[in-house]
Amino acid sequence: MSDLTAEVLHPDQRPTAAAFPALAAPAVFWEDDRWWRFTERTDLHEVRYLAVRESGELVALAPLLVTRDGGGLLFYDTPKMTGELNAFGAPELLAPAERARWDELGGSLAEARRGQYPSVALAVFGSHHGIVHATGRDAAGRARVLAELPRLLDEAAAELGCRSSSLLYATDEQAAVLGPAAEARGHVPAVLGAESVLRLDAPDWDAYLAGLASRKRRRAHRELGEYAEAGFRTVVREGPEALSDSVVDLQVALRAKYGLPGGRPRVQRDFDAIREAVGDSCLVLSAERDGETLGFVLYLRAGRALYGRTAGFDDDRARGVYFALTYHETIRWALAHDVREIWYGLAAYDAKKLRGCDLEARHGWFRFTGEGRAELDETVRLQGASERDRLLGLGQDSTTSQGD
């Protein structure tokens, strides 16, 4: 009998770094209690917290993102991301019989999804698993929590009245413990993608360039040369004031281009929330020409790491700026300011690997109930298998084992 128990905290109970020191300046930015405050500002999910106790002692905390209907953010809305290729999956890589079955299942998914709300995901914005262990917990103690987490989430889902649930964005190391426990309870596993992390070990920009293969070095020189010849210069701003009106304008245009809802009020609200919650950690690199901002990338800094949050570019007037700013100029700044890791997030794996990123697999487990469960289970299995094949196709050295 396990002595691990869990409690879904009341909405008024907010974990803080003062009460749970592991949330203060953690190794990964997405585990900072200030970032959790930002996540709480969303109007697309209800944010609750799971408190895990061992023999009565608080040993772990995790955010729960509850979706009451189908309006949640794609990467944290369990039914919505099932069968949705913008979330994960590459069915073109499936064997012919599996691809035919994928196509066949597509017709029944809309109705099956509707019956799976409310839904809950154990995850946090940033495509991160969210579980934070108490300071000082050893590997065995962390493993005990992970082994019981699927059971504890099932109990939390029942308490919240949720018909579906998921554990999202676990690392390979976590998956080694979480996976068997989740699958033993009938949760369906899936590879969700890979976090792209660029690790820098050069002392400065010149040494970094010298360490590149000749082909990559020539590409860097060419892309930076074109950037300069087009009249661009990089302006770096830090702190809350880095989120300027120009940055908002570019983000609004980007969302409009891809047909995303909300318009300027949504973007302004999100940036205001970032400014208020984690403004001191903001870093914006802007591509400017004649005093006008035509491209930007927003990072959040924690110690010696940068975490990519969002970017925007004027497609008509800033062609070719993306790679120069997001990779070369970012790396140049990072090396000059004692940053040794850049987390670029999920997707666009070919470009990220080409520029030296390690691709680290992220795993999830899905649980559906009631009518339509069999179709959703099968869809997730095929979707996850195809995403795994996509990562493997990038090369055996591209991931540690096999992702807003």
Query: Model confidence over 192-243: pLDDT tens digits?
Result: 999 999 999 999 999 999 999 999 999 999 999 999 999 999 999 999 999 9
Residue 295 tokens, joined: 């491209």
Instruction: Kindly tell me if the per-residue pLDDT of 157 is higher than 80.
Output: yes
From the list 201, 144, 213, the residue with the least C-alpha distance to 331 is: 201
**Whole-number Å distance between alpha carbons of 98 and 95:** 5
pLDDT tops 50 at residue 401:
no
CB-based burial of residue 100 (10 Å sphere; 0-12 exposed, 13-18 middle, 19+ buried)? exposed
d(CA 68, CA 148): 26
pLDDT at 327 over 70: yes
Please choose, from the candidates 288, 301, 245, the residue with its C-alpha nearest in 3D space to the C-alpha of residue 32: 301
DSSP designation for 124:
B
C-alpha torsion sign, points 153, 366, 347, 204: positive
pLDDT band at 320 (very low <50, low <70, confident <90, very high): confident
Tokens of residue 106, six digits: 């597509």
Output b/e per residue, 252-278; b: 16+ Cβ within 10 A.
bebbeeeeeeeeeebbbebbebbbebb
Cα dist from 170 to 123, 128, 329, whole Å: 9, 7, 30
Question: Helix or strand or coil: residue 366?
Answer: strand
pLDDT tens for each residue of 55-97: 999 999 999 999 999 889 999 999 999 999 999 999 999 999 9
pLDDT band per the 50, 70, 90 thresholds, residue 360: very high
Query: Given pLDDT bands bounded at 50, 70 and 90, which one contains residue 138?
Result: very high
Tell me what the mean pLDDT of segment 266-278 comes to.
Answer: 94
What predicted TM-score, i.e. pTM, was given to this entire model?
Answer: 0.93
Residues 193 and 404: beta-carbon distance below 8 Å: no
Work out the average pLDDT over 288-298.
Answer: 96
Per cent of the chain over pLDDT 90 is: 88
Please provide the average confidence, as pLDDT, over all residues in the chain: 94
pLDDT of 402 reads 26
pLDDT at 1: 57
pLDDT over 50 at 404, yes or no: no
What is the pLDDT at residue 266?
A: 87
